[in-house]
Chain A
Amino acid sequence: MATAQAEKRAERGGGAVPRSVVPRPARRTPRRAHPERWVTVLALLLISVGFVLPFVWMLSTSLKTLDRTMEMPPRFLPDPVVPQNYLTVLQNPKLNFPLLTRNTLIVAVLSVVGTTLSSAIVAYGFAKIRFRGNGTLFGVLLATMMIPFPVIMVPLFGIFRWLGEHTPVPFLGTLTPLWLPAFFGSAFNIFLLRQFFLTIPAELSEAAQVDGCSDWGIFRRIVLPLARPALAVVALFTFMGSWNDFMGPLVFVQDPSQYTLALGLQTFQSQHGGTEWNLLMAASLLVILPVIVLFFMAQKTFIQGIATTGLK
């Protein structure tokens, strides 16, 4: 059901995201309050408390002195308030926040550029060019999405180790294994972009064809500019995935100078975790903050992107 429907909708609107499925702000409640509506709001409020409490707890702990973190019973309002904890974390040589951030950003930015570009190129091939085996290969691509990272991490480790020993480029112990595969497209993103490219009317590319435009020209000048919303979704998801990734860096990165934020945070915890909860919470919040800011800046793209994945 959903495929056909969503495609029809997308065709009509010509947009990446079927507008009608995107949650719109609710209409104002009628004045005469329904009793059921109150129950709903009450339930929502109660559940929200459960969702927000860990955040509040984190923030509160991050602003406490060390001995106050163990105070019984615990208090939500820190007294005294110690914002210096954040400075301590930022300047902690064991954590080396600036370096971790730099490494994480290198991996994230390269992954975003690599995945977005290569996935768009591949998606164009699948969506707009007829060649033998197109359907079969696309089926293979879909199937690869079921293969979990843990299944291939051992041989990948071996491959990068081998490459490092047999080529002048060092692989293991550098950030390369974390972003290099991104340049070969990712199945999920290729799938997403292909579905989008299919909704771009053929007339557009046909007209360009008549004007003597090559496939590459059509891709560059027509498809890419039209696909900006879909590319934004891909870029955002990739950035978040890369920022949050833990297992990849854990397996491939060995030298602390190459640690990413996620890995650095975990190492910091395993070294001091049992004790300095205020610093640990401050560090966690610092790692979370950029992601949350990014989410608020691009909330619409996010929600629409997720809603689309479920429907196509």
Chain B
Amino acid sequence: MGTAARRAAEAEAGAAALPAPRAREQAVARRSPWTRGPGFWGYVFISPWLIGFLLFTLGPMLISLYLSFCRYDLHTLTWVGAKNYEVLLTRDPLFWKSLGNTALYVLFAVPLGLTGSLLIAILLNQKVRGMPWFRTLFYLPSLVPAVASALVWVWVFHPDAGLLNHGLSRLGIQGPQWLQDPRTALPALILMSLWGVGGGRMIIFLAGLQGISDELYEAASLDGARGWASFRHVTLPMLSPTIFFNLVLGIIGSFQVFTSAYVMTGGGPNNATLLYVLYLYNNAFRFFKMGKASAMAWVLFLILLVFTIIQFKNASRWVYYEGGEKE
């Protein structure tokens, strides 16, 4: 998944989860005395983004919407109406296959990743000796460029000479063919994604944990809450905004996983790892079905939009905001 896109998603989720106090923003604006004219200089300052937004975001989005109703192979462009969508939804088994694979990937990689990073953050928060050392160590894998980590894991998953099957054979287990077997290829990609649980998400959890005041734990322990009870009734509620943030961006990110599938399996074997964005990419840049690819892009965009909206709607049920004020 694109780092930039993921980071953007992270920030978006964060920003939206914690809406900037508008009143304050206006107060700042009111205080500033250098407003002459109708904020002319304001537009001048934001113009780079404004132009970039039109050229590289809004423009492409609209073009993409238009293309999704056309047949376009980079040479000829013909309007075909909703045919691309119709083909995708009714006559393209690979579309559903890729969507299903991606759904499975998201369904397992996101909860496992969240639990893993939370677990590591909790362990690191126990005031043990050498914490910064451990933190660095857990963080390192997430620094590795996606292509490089994909290559390393192809080698780790190698059925004969790979590290993983060697370890399994030491335990008396005959390891599977991993990436060569349609049944284990997707689980292998999910397993590999867990190498990155010590990255940004874990650091954000750790910061969240350290933001919980000791007084709460003391109060809870006076009430007799220890261990699990204290985790369940203090840590989890206090951490829920952070969990929410990581969940939203985790889902957005996992829907876009591309590099590992492209490099490690190319979508195989037997399309077992054909993830959504990989199929989109293939349609666009291998089969040059730009119209169909654009339709897929819009379907993806709508899926992410719906998911994000649902999560925000549900958030008030389980996300606890300290002070209770949430606009």
Q: Which residues of A contact B (CB under 8 A)?
A: 1-5, 20-23, 25-29, 36-37, 40-41, 43-44, 47-48, 51-55, 57-58, 61, 69-74, 118-119, 121-122, 124-132, 134-135, 137, 140-159, 161, 181, 183-188, 190-192, 195, 198, 202, 205-206, 209, 215, 218-219, 237, 240-241, 243-248, 250-251, 261-263, 265-266, 269, 273, 277, 280-281, 284, 287-288, 291-292, 295-296, 299, 303, 306-307, 309-312
Cβ contact within 8 Å between B4 and A149 = yes
Cβ contact within 8 Å between A215 and B34 = yes
**Segment 1-37 of B: residues with Cβ below 8 Å from A:** 2-5, 7-12, 14-16, 18-22, 25-26, 28-35
User: Which residue on chain A has the smallest CB distance to residue B289?
Assistant: A154
Give the Cβ gap from B194 to chain A, nearest Cβ, in Å. Answer: 9
Q: Classify the secondary structure of B's interface with A.
A: helix
Does B310 sit at the interface, judged by CB under 8 A? no
Q: A269-B154, A310-B245 are in contact. List 15 more A-B contacts (CB 8 A).
A: A1-B322, A3-B19, A44-B134, A52-B137, A134-B42, A137-B46, A151-B64, A158-B63, A188-B11, A244-B145, A246-B259, A287-B145, A299-B136, A307-B206, A310-B14
Can you offer 16 A-B residue contacts whose CB atoms are under 8 A? A5-B322, A129-B39, A130-B42, A132-B38, A144-B8, A145-B9, A146-B8, A148-B301, A149-B5, A150-B258, A187-B11, A245-B3, A287-B147, A306-B203, A310-B200, A311-B14
User: Which residue on chain A has the smallest CB distance to residue B145?
Assistant: A244
Which of chain B's residues have a CB closer than 8 A to the CB of A291?
143-145
Give the Cβ gap from B306 to chain A, nearest Cβ, in Å. Answer: 12
Which of chain A's residues have a CB closer than 8 A to the CB of B210?
20-21, 23
Interface stretch among B83-91, B106-114, B160-168, B215-223? B160-168
A149-B2 contact, Cβ under 8 Å, with A1-B241, A22-B207, A71-B161:
yes
Give the Cβ gap from B50 to chain A, nearest Cβ, in Å. Answer: 8
User: Which residue on chain A has the smallest CB distance to residue B321?
Assistant: A1
User: How many B residues touch A, CB cutoff 8 Å?
Assistant: 132
Give the Cβ gap from A22 to chain B, nearest Cβ, in Å. Answer: 7
Does B156 sit at the interface, judged by CB under 8 A? yes
Give the Cβ gap from B291 to chain A, nearest Cβ, in Å. Answer: 9
User: Which residue on chain B has the smallest CB distance to residue A147?
Assistant: B57
Which of chain A's residues have a CB closer than 8 A to the CB of B146?
244, 246, 262
Q: Which residues of B contact A (CB under 8 A)?
A: 2-5, 7-12, 14-16, 18-22, 25-26, 28-35, 38-46, 48-53, 55-57, 59-61, 63-64, 67, 74, 120, 123-124, 126-132, 134-141, 143-149, 151-156, 158, 160-161, 163, 166, 169, 195, 198, 200, 203-208, 210-211, 241-242, 245-246, 252, 255-256, 258-259, 262-263, 277, 280-281, 284-285, 290, 293-294, 297-298, 300-301, 304-305, 308, 320-323, 325
Select which of B44, B123, B128 is within 8 A of A125 by beta carbon: B44
Cβ contact within 8 Å between A145 and B8 = yes
Select which of B38, B123, B152 is within 8 A of A44 by beta carbon: B123
Cβ contact within 8 Å between A124 and B63 = no
CA distance A263 to B146 in the complex (A): 11
